[in-house]
Amino acid sequence: MKRIFLFVMTNIAILAVLSVAWFVISSFFGLDPMQTAQGGLNYVTLLVFATIFGFGGAFISLWLSKPIAKWSTGAKVISQPSNSAEAWLVNTVQRQARQAGIGMPEVAIFDSPEPNAFATGATKNSSLVAVSTGLLQGMKQDEVEAVLGHEVSHIANGDMVTLTLIQGVLNTFVIFLSRVIGHFIDRVILKNEQGYGIGYFVSVIVLQIILGIAASAVVCWFSRRREFRADAGGAKLAGKRKMVDALARLQSYQGGQSQLPEQMSAFGIRGGAMAKMFSTHPPLEARIAALQNAA
């Protein structure tokens, strides 16, 4: 789950905080609009609540994505290139961003021996492209150019925003189902007939975490689909041969332990050795074949 771990966990944490705040406020004022006068659930109100909190949590995660990325990786933004390699990096991203029709992303380097890269940011015109020192040292310039094209394509394709919308829908279901199941546990299993007991609150929080992790499988599926499109975009920006060579080079590094921080996984270029359902990237051989078979 390396590829989406922090984005998902940040989202789950935000939902947990919002839920606790709601519990505290509703308990303090003795008012819960999601509960009917007869002690049942008001499903319409619950769905509205789930939608607002679900999308709210997802968009807060999106807004925090770039600062969290910088903090967690220790990525240093290149404000003024200090050498020819940094100048080439900035100029290449600038050229590709112009070709892709997006605003110039911030360009950063993070210290890691593993060849890797990621793109993140709340909008197409307020994004970040970061590469590892291992990628710059271990790959040829043409291959690095293709990797940058892949990341710029993620931004141009709006993958971060689309992921957020999908996460918002999933959050809505997670919040709704956790409270329906929690209500059942409180009323039927724990036999609580007045208000909600501690069993309900504990059940809802635990269920949100469990269902949130399960929902990440859908996010992983989405991520796998978008990788093929980003590869095609990278091939368009840098050239098909360069993109194929870059993936082949990454394939030669496969098998090592990924050191890319978990929250960057959704848009890192390498896949992890996780179960297929929770893998955010298709096998590199499948990605190479897709490029080679493209017209």
Residues labelled catalytic: 151
Helix (H) or strand (E) holding 109: strand 106-110
Cα(131)–Cα(116) distance, integer angstroms: 6
Sheet of 126-132, strands arranged across: 76-77, 106-110, 126-132, 117-123
CB 141 within 8 A of CB 293: no
Q: Mapping DSSP to helix (H, G, I), strand (E, B) and coil, where does residue 294 land?
A: coil
> Nearest CA to 141 among 70, 91, 103?
91
CB atoms within 10 A of CB 3: 31
Mind giving me the DSSP string for 176-212? HHHHHHHHHIIIIIS---SS--HHHHHHHHHHHHHHH
Would you give the DSSP letter of residue 118? Answer: E
Would you give the DSSP letter of residue 64? Answer: H
Whole-number Cα distances in Å, 30 to 33, 44, 49: 10, 20, 17
Tokens representing residue 278 in the block: 């929770």
> Nearest CA to 173 among 230, 240, 218?
218
Sort residue 193 into left (φ over 0), alpha (ψ -120 to 50) or beta. alpha
Would you give the DSSP letter of residue 33? Answer: T
